[in-house]
């Protein structure tokens, strides 16, 4: 089940980030993520199975640029490879497809998972070495919104 994030989910979502550190996130990113949850969250969703949060991901809006950005995606490592990330990403893309003010969807990820987004239709725009932290390069990807 995919549902909107609530503040009571914060400890479990922080735990998800920690389970994906250091493989997919640098330890330095935890403070950024906490700041995001406290101050920058717009639309954020959790994927729940048997009342347990096993995935999360958000959307941020840049309406003046007519852009939305998929943000802070993470899946519990024990459940990766089972289609949960795909369902959660498609859920947000479908949500954005109904928003006529958004022309493009951006995702900023790393060299570790950009192929996942490529399979969903995102195209690589730029790469920046050591952007997130040492050995965590920025892979910025984009797709046109189908509204």
Amino acid 19: pLDDT: 98
Name the band, by pLDDT with cuts 50, 70 and 90, for residue 70.
very high
User: Which residues fall within 8 angstroms of residue 136, CB to CB, at 6 or more apart?
Assistant: 25, 26, 110, 112, 130
Say yes or no to pLDDT of 12 above 80: yes
Domain residues of the chain, as ranges? 2-144
CATH class held by domain 2-144: alpha beta
Average pLDDT, the chain: 95
Amino acid 147: pLDDT: 65
Amino acid 50: pLDDT: 93
**What is the bridge-based pairing of β-strands 104-109 and 67-75?**
parallel
């Amino acid at each position: 089940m995919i549902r909107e994030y609530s503040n009571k989910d914060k400890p479990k979502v922080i735990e998800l980030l920690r389970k994906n550190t250091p493989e997919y996130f640098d330890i330095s990113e935890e403070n950024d993520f906490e700041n995001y949850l406290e101050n920058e969250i717009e639309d954020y969703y959790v994927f729940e199975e048997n009342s347990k949060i096993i995935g999360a991901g958000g959307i941020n809006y840049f309406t003046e640029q007519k852009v939305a950005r998929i943000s802070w995606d993470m899946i519990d490592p024990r459940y990766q490879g089972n289609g949960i990330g795909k369902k959660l990403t498609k859920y947000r893309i479908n949500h954005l497809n109904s928003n006529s003010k958004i022309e493009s969807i951006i995702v900023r990820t790393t060299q570790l998972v950009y192929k996942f987004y490529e399979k969903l239709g995102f195209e690589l725009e730029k790469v920046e070495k050591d952007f997130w932290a040492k050995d965590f390069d920025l892979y910025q990807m984009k797709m046109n919104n189908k509204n």
